[in-house]
Chain A
Amino acid sequence: MKEKVVRKMKKYFQPEIETMPREQIKEIQNDLFVKQFRRVYESVPYYKAKVDAAGVNPDEIQSIADISKLPFLTKDDLREAYPDGLLAVPKKDVVRIHSTSGTTGKRVVAYYTQNDLDLWSDCTARAIVATGGSEDDVVQVCYGYGLFTGGAGLNDGAHKLGALTVPMSSGNTDRQLQFMEDMQATVLCCTPSYASFLGESAIERGVRDRLKLRAGIFGAEAWTEEMRRDIEDKLQLKAYDIYGLTEISGPGVAFECEEQAGMHINEDHFYIETIDPDTGEVLPEGSKGELVFTCLDKEAFPLIRYRTKDICVLNPEECSCGRTHIRMSKPMGRSDDMLIIKGVNVFPSQIETVLLNEGLTPNYQIIVDRVGSSDTFDVLVEMPEDLFGDTVAAISRREKQIVSSLKSMLGIVAKVRLVEPKSIERSEGKAVRVIDKRKLY
């Protein structure tokens, strides 16, 4: 049994903002946006050129309703403007950078002023409080520290809240579990796959019952409801999702509340649109589309209409937690690698998530074909050694389990074919993930 701690319950970190009537949120967004646009247009030559090239007269941008006249920014813009072509303040005002991993050509560097960092940590503090957090908590952060935004984001949010922060960074499972037990950590922050791994390790080493975790804040990866239940069961905590991206700030752009039904977007800082990824047309709230963010009050690196490539659905319904900020679904995948199979959107990343969760290697290949008028959907999975046995029944059981996990993630049935280790075709060392034979016809 876990010790019951009497805690000073605090429902919101910034109640007046988090529960603000929607009209008021819209007013704030309107004011911030008009000022932000003007400032960025005037101080960032790259952005001015972009707006001018789109034939937009800046004087026409009088309210948030005019935002749809403005061009989108994409990762290509970030690449082109690298390293500091989108910086909107003098360099002396910048106090930190973060960067995405990736090859040099694709790296994104984001800049922060002290005020940017303050607002960001407000966002992550809101996320921690939304799990029932307070200054009584011990927050163990096992996201990577350094250039990655995960470690710093949750670290600073925990500080802001006044919780005891255990800055572990990633890796070294034995040490993680040791500190978790010795420091009596109550909140765990890491990727869902690492949480699952920590849970297994805690059970294996027999330390689970000595842990005091009550909540986990897991993000930076796609995960399913099954994974959530599995992690909650293994680590005996309640698992919350968090969303963010380096280009916009980092984790905490949106976060889950106790309802665990979508992530509230911090709309006082970020304006959100969903668009049709093919046409760029803005979709009505509640339609599935690509998320586009506008930073309303960031100073150093304020992207306007940045295309995330994440496909989501927004939910404008009131949330019973009392927060008024709109909720986003878990990203269903990336718009640029989306496949439509049997009429359903399928993202390779979802398949990868399922395989990792099933303890398989993420070496897979999707083969889509069309027989007659219907699609065939095969997923080739490399068989790990321990999966193999001597009975057909054991292999079939495992296959069925993979098929059912894929179905719960994707909504359609895939034919799973187990193949020998290292047998999936690789080009330049990287596995070829998708073979869409339909395109040949």
Chain B
Amino acid sequence: MIQKQISAYLENKPGQLLDYIQVLGENNIDLQALCIADTEDYGLLRMIVDDPDKAVDLLKKAGHSCAITEVLSVVIPDRPGAMRKALAALNEAQISFDYCYAFFSKEEGKANIVFRVPDNDEALKALEDAGALE
């Protein structure tokens, strides 16, 4: 499925991440996945939450730089070789991605992967055709 992801800029200073998480927690926004890309000077926070529009609104009001991007979020079986199959499917279709991250699904035996690809529909089709998805 196409999933709205929040990305936020983390200045390199203490308490930055805590600030963000606090804003979300205080407003009962459920955090489903989180990952941080770190560079020498700053971090880039990416999150999947249950209400992305509300979350972005709140974060902007709190003075943070953030944006919504549509990423591809797919469910694969939680077993050895499943991730390999998914990556091989994309590779086969010559689809490259900027980043990806994985997290457990709330459903037993399944895992989620988020892909940032140039064309979500094309990538989804490639994964489906290869039978890589649950």
A associates with B: yes
**A residues touching B (Cβ–Cβ < 8 Å)?**
383, 385, 388-393, 395-396, 417-423
Q: Is the CB of B11 within 8 A of A392?
A: no
Q: Is the CB of A390 within 8 A of B65?
A: no
**A388-B67 Cα distance, complex, nearest whole Å:** 7
Q: Is the CB of B44 within 8 A of A423?
A: no
Q: A418-B42, A420-B9, A423-B11 are in contact. Are A391 and B98 (CB under 8 A)?
A: yes
Residues of A near B116 (CB, < 8 A) are 390-391
Is residue B91 within 8 Å, beta carbon to beta carbon, of the partner chain?
no
Q: A389-B69, A392-B37, A417-B41 are in contact. Are A422 and B7 (CB under 8 A)?
A: no
Within 8 A of A (CB), among B8-51: 9, 11, 37, 39, 41-42, 44, 46
Q: Is the CB of B64 within 8 A of A392?
A: no
**A5-B30 Cα distance, complex, nearest whole Å:** 67
Question: Which of A383, A388, A393, A421 is close to B98, meaning CB atoms less than 8 Å apart?
Answer: A393
Q: Is the CB of A388 within 8 A of B65?
A: yes
Closest 7 CB pairs of A and B: A390-B7, A390-B69, A388-B65, A391-B98, A388-B67, A383-B65, A392-B37
Name B5's closest neighbour in chain A (CB-CB): A390
Is residue B63 within 8 Å, beta carbon to beta carbon, of the partner chain?
yes
Q: Is the CB of B63 within 8 A of A422?
A: yes
**A385-B65 Cα distance, complex, nearest whole Å:** 6
Q: Is the CB of B11 within 8 A of A420?
A: yes
Question: Which of A393, A418, A422 is close to B9, meaning CB atoms less than 8 Å apart?
Answer: A418
Q: Is the CB of A389 within 8 A of B39?
A: no
Q: Is the CB of A420 within 8 A of B7?
A: no
Q: A390-B44, A391-B99, A420-B63 are in contact. Are A383 and B9 (CB under 8 A)?
A: yes
**A385-B99 Cα distance, complex, nearest whole Å:** 22
**B residues touching A (Cβ–Cβ < 8 Å)?**
5, 7, 9, 11, 37, 39, 41-42, 44, 46, 60, 63-67, 69, 71, 98-99, 116
Q: Is the CB of B5 within 8 A of A421?
A: no
Q: A393-B98, A420-B64 are in contact. Are A388 and B7 (CB under 8 A)?
A: yes
Name B70's closest neighbour in chain A (CB-CB): A390
Name A380's closest neighbour in chain B (CB-CB): B11
Residues of A near B44 (CB, < 8 A) are 390-392, 395
Residues of B near A390 (CB, < 8 A) are 5, 7, 44, 46, 67, 69, 71, 116
Q: Is the CB of A388 within 8 A of B42?
A: no
Q: A390-B116, A395-B44 are in contact. Are A419 and B11 (CB under 8 A)?
A: yes
Interface-central residue, B42, B44, B63, B65, by most chain A CB under 10 Å: B65
Residues of B near A419 (CB, < 8 A) are 11
Name B64's closest neighbour in chain A (CB-CB): A420
Residues of B near A385 (CB, < 8 A) are 60, 65, 67
Residues of A near B67 (CB, < 8 A) are 385, 388-390
Q: How far is the CB of A363 from chain B (nearest CB, A)?
A: 13
Name B67's closest neighbour in chain A (CB-CB): A388
**A418-B42 Cα distance, complex, nearest whole Å:** 9
Interface-central residue, A390, A417, A418, A419, by most chain B CB under 10 Å: A390
Residues of A near B42 (CB, < 8 A) are 395, 417-418
Question: Which of B41, B46, B65 is close to A421, meaning CB atoms less than 8 Å apart?
Answer: B65
Residues of A near B7 (CB, < 8 A) are 388-390
Q: Is the CB of B63 within 8 A of A421?
A: yes
Q: Given contacts A385-B65, A390-B71, could you give 20 more A-B pairs where the C-beta distance is less than 8 Å?
A: A385-B67, A388-B9, A388-B65, A389-B7, A389-B69, A390-B5, A390-B7, A390-B67, A390-B116, A391-B44, A391-B99, A392-B39, A395-B42, A395-B44, A417-B42, A418-B9, A420-B9, A420-B63, A421-B63, A422-B63
Name A419's closest neighbour in chain B (CB-CB): B11
**A392-B60 Cα distance, complex, nearest whole Å:** 20
Q: How far is the CB of B7 from chain A (nearest CB, A)?
A: 4
Residues of A near B5 (CB, < 8 A) are 390
Residues of B near A395 (CB, < 8 A) are 9, 42, 44
**A392-B44 Cα distance, complex, nearest whole Å:** 7
Q: Is the CB of B65 within 8 A of A420?
A: yes
Q: How far is the CB of B43 from chain A (nearest CB, A)?
A: 9
Q: Can you list 29 A-B pairs with a CB-CB distance of less than 8 A? A: A383-B65, A385-B67, A388-B7, A388-B9, A388-B66, A389-B7, A390-B5, A390-B44, A390-B46, A390-B69, A390-B71, A390-B116, A391-B44, A391-B98, A391-B99, A392-B37, A392-B44, A395-B9, A396-B39, A417-B41, A417-B42, A419-B11, A420-B9, A420-B63, A420-B64, A420-B65, A421-B65, A423-B11, A423-B63
Q: How far is the CB of B31 from chain A (nearest CB, A)?
A: 17
Name A416's closest neighbour in chain B (CB-CB): B41
**A74-B64 Cα distance, complex, nearest whole Å:** 45
Q: How far is the CB of A423 from chain B (nearest CB, A)?
A: 7
Residues of A near B98 (CB, < 8 A) are 391, 393
Residues of B near A393 (CB, < 8 A) are 98
**A422-B44 Cα distance, complex, nearest whole Å:** 19
Residues of B near A388 (CB, < 8 A) are 7, 9, 65-67
**A395-B11 Cα distance, complex, nearest whole Å:** 13
Q: How far is the CB of A401 from chain B (nearest CB, A)?
A: 16
**A421-B11 Cα distance, complex, nearest whole Å:** 11
Residues of A near B69 (CB, < 8 A) are 389-390
**A390-B70 Cα distance, complex, nearest whole Å:** 10
Residues of A near B11 (CB, < 8 A) are 419-420, 423
